[in-house]
Amino acid sequence: MVGLNHFLILTSILFSLGLFGVITRKNAITVLMGLELILNAASLNFVAITRFTDVAASGQVISLFIIVLAASEAAIALAIVLNLYKNFNNVNVDEINSLKE
Amino acid sequence: MELFDLFFYLFASVIVISGAVTVLNKNLIYAAFALLILLSSVAAMFFILGAEFLAMVQILIYVGGVLILIVFGIMLTGQVKSVPMRENFVYLLIAAVFTGLLCGLLVTGITARPDMTLSADIASTPIKMLGNLLISKYYLIFGMLGVLLLVILIAAAGMARNNKE
């Protein structure tokens, strides 16, 4: 019987995978993908807790807010990445270490 | 085994495998496609949890918006094939040990408490309830998110513009 704990374990695995991606990848866009994994884990957690406890639909509303924030974060991050590529000619987060050329 | 359990294990395995491919693959386009599968599986997970509206929003915004932006970013920066991870093996080992420990810690913490199951059929959350919550209890956050989206719109357009003085 699948319960709340199954969902929580799944989301902790997803969170750890995303964290691993954020730590180990060099490309800025892949770091962004790891962030998406982490945000999805959090939002799945909220929905699962809403389903298995009686908190009305509050968790789903918070999950909706998370999705909106993730979309705006992706837009800003992509604009920053394009500017970085224009100025440094790569998007390697290890080599971008100066504020001004 | 119930249908709910079957769907849970199916989508959970898809989520974990495609998450691993997203994080570990060297080819960025393959990683983006794995992310597509992952986001769709999370939407399916929302669906079996009775949150149909959220599943639709997930597909619309994540798959239709964020993923397209990411693919745009990959293609515009031109680094598609064989994007390296950190080449130093020690870094990889430390990161793997650290995240593995964190995952193990979370799982032990979760399994220490009693499980909660529901035997009833999956009742979907009415969208009307969601809308009522949005304009009553969470009205302040809702309005602030509106302002935030406006700011993001202007800022992203201003930053991505090609301004040569």
Binary contact (A27, B57; C-beta < 8 A): no
**Burial of A42 from C-beta contacts in 10 A (0-12 / 13-18 / 19+):** middle
Per-residue pLDDT band at B93 (split at 50, 70, 90): confident
Binary contact (B16, A13; C-beta < 8 A): yes
pLDDT at B20: 92
Q: Residue B111 has which token pair? A: 């399994």
Residue of B nearest to A86 (CA): B77
Range name among A58-62, B74-78, B118-122, B143-147 with the lowest pLDDT average: B118-122
Say how far apart CA A77 and CA A68 lie, in whole Å: 14
Domains held by chain A: number: 1
Residue A1 has pLDDT above 90, yes or no: no
Nearest chain A Cα distance for residue B162, angstroms: 9
Chain B residues touching A45 at Cβ < 8 A: none
CB atoms within 10 A of CB B66: 25
Beta bridge partners of A92: A27
pLDDT at A87: 82
Check: CB of residue A47 under 8 Å from CB of residue A59. yes
Residue B87 has pLDDT above 70, yes or no: no
Binary contact (A67, B58; C-beta < 8 A): yes
Q: Is residue A97 part of a domain?
A: no
Chain A residues touching B5 at Cβ < 8 A: 1-2
pLDDT at B44: 93
pLDDT at B18: 94
pLDDT at A54: 74
Residue of B nearest to A4 (CA): B116
Binary contact (B54, A76; C-beta < 8 A): no
Nearest chain B Cα distance for residue A85, angstroms: 6
Residue B2 has pLDDT above 70, yes or no: yes
Say how far apart CA B110 and CA B114 lie, in whole Å: 9
Range of the domain at B159: 126-165
Higher pLDDT, A62 or B85: A62
Query: pLDDT tens across A24-83, in order?
Result: 888 888 899 999 999 999 999 999 888 888 777 888 899 999 999 999 999 999 888 888
pLDDT at B45: 92
Specify the CATH number for the domain of residue B67.
1.20.120.1200
Residue of A nearest to B85 (CA): A25
State whether B141 and B73 are in the same domain: no
Q: A82-94 burial by CB neighbour count: b if 16+ within 10 A, else e?
A: bebbeeeebbbee
Chain A residues touching B13 at Cβ < 8 A: none
State whether B20 and B57 are in the same domain: yes
Place of tokens 């969902």: A7
Specify the CATH number for the domain of residue A29.
1.10.287.3510
pLDDT at B120: 60
State whether B135 and B61 are in the same domain: no
State whether B139 and B108 are in the same domain: no
Mean pLDDT computed over B38-53: 91
Domains held by chain B: number: 2
Residue of B nearest to A79 (CA): B160
CB atoms within 10 A of CB B97: 10
Residue B57 has pLDDT above 80, yes or no: yes
Per-residue pLDDT band at B84 (split at 50, 70, 90): low
pLDDT at B113: 82
CA B87 to chain centre: 27
Residue of A nearest to B38 (CA): A37
Per-residue pLDDT band at A85 (split at 50, 70, 90): confident
Range name among A10-14, A21-25, B9-13 with the lowest pLDDT average: A21-25
Q: Which of B94, B109, B125 is the last residue of a domain?
A: B125
Range of the domain at A83: 4-88
Per-residue pLDDT band at B143 (split at 50, 70, 90): very high
State whether B53 and B75 are in the same domain: yes
Binary contact (B110, A17; C-beta < 8 A): no
Q: Is residue A8 part of a domain?
A: yes
pLDDT at B26: 83
Binary contact (B160, A82; C-beta < 8 A): yes
Q: Residue A54 has which token pair? A: 């009686």
Residue B165 has pLDDT above 60, yes or no: no
